[in-house]
Structure 1
């Protein structure tokens, strides 16, 4: 399996807090932008960043996301609002790519430390913040991993059948994703990841 980590030194050296803060600010800014031309420029800049990081291989793992975006655009086109559909697709594409860059260049333990600090005020109210931190980190981390799982199922299908897989992969994908989630939860519980903090 191809490694999903980005090994360019400068981005790995950036503090996890800085990367997550930048991702949050860019996300807010993107939802304020309604011009598809501006969003297209931002998408091009994001792809250029991926190329600079020598991480264009991540695009292969995000193919299922691309399919869903095309379906979303087709739905907007059918409803007669293609411009809104284009805005939505471009916005989500940028956000997914940026989130993938952050997760592929940041250790899970570093993100947990940052989120624990951000959620610290909730502990004053007696709430356990570690499960929330783990859930956020695992959601970000599982996006490229689930995409890689879909790619693996597609390759296995093509090796056994001349027909295109399309919807036939949905059921095994969901079952394997649930199995992966169950194994991950068991492993995290065994390591005390959900211990009260």
Structure 2
């Protein structure tokens, strides 16, 4: 499996994940507390650009999967003639860019440890270790699933002149379920969560 951590080393990699997560939570609260979320775009963009042009380009590429959702939201709000769509889309882009910044500049083990310590108050409901593992696996599987969907789309293009579009949804879903099954079997073989 791949990880979302950026191979481009920046100063932000040395900042503890707990501080970055706290800043992300504060940003998310601010995004929904204001009716002008675009005012938060310049500081987030400046933060990303402060890590260098290569890192900024990598961050921009990581936002590419949002494009279809942005188009759907924009068309929906245009059809409704609802100007609030701009606010929704702006919040989504800023929030995802900030979340990507946190995951790209933090090691997965550090994020998992941080989530585990934050989840301690939930221990009567769910084991913090289980929750941290679930979130960690979800983060690790995102790039793997994107890579697998890309491979399936390439296979489609090699066999057909038509665009793949929705046709790769089922094979991608089955591949994700297959990966999840193999991961569950591997965890079970190693004694679960220990």
**What's the TM-score, normalizing by structure 2?**
0.80
Q: Distance in 2 between matches of 1:191 and 1:107?
A: 23
1:8 alignment partner in structure 2: 9
Q: Which runs of 5+ in 1 are unaligned?
A: none
8 Å Cα contact 1:61-1:151 kept in structure 2: no
Cα shift at 1:62: 4.1
Q: Secondary structure at the match of 2:55?
A: coil
Q: How many residues are treated as equivalent by the alignment?
A: 193
Q: Secondary structure at the match of 2:110?
A: helix
Q: Distance in 2 between matches of 1:93 and 1:143?
A: 17
Q: Which runs of 5+ in 2 are unaligned?
A: none
Cα shift at 1:50: 6.7
The answer to whether 1:180 aligns with 2:179 is yes
Q: Distance in 1 between matches of 2:99 and 2:35?
A: 21
2:149 alignment partner in structure 1: 150
Query: CA 1:117–1:5 in 2, change beyond 3 Å: closer, same or farther?
Result: closer
Q: Distance in 2 between matches of 1:160 and 1:43?
A: 42
Q: Deviations over 1:49-104 (max 9, x none)?
A: 575452523544543322122112211211221x2112111211222222222223
Q: Deviations over 1:123-172 (max 9, x none)?
A: 3x475221111222333343344333333333333333332211111111
Q: Distance in 2 between matches of 1:193 and 1:97?
A: 33
2:127 alignment partner in structure 1: 128
CA RMSD of superposed structures (Å): 3.0
**What's the TM-score, normalizing by structure 1?**
0.79
Q: Secondary structure at the match of 1:54?
A: helix
1:71 alignment partner in structure 2: 72
Structure 1 stretches of at least 4 aligned residues deviating more than 6 Å after TM superposition: none
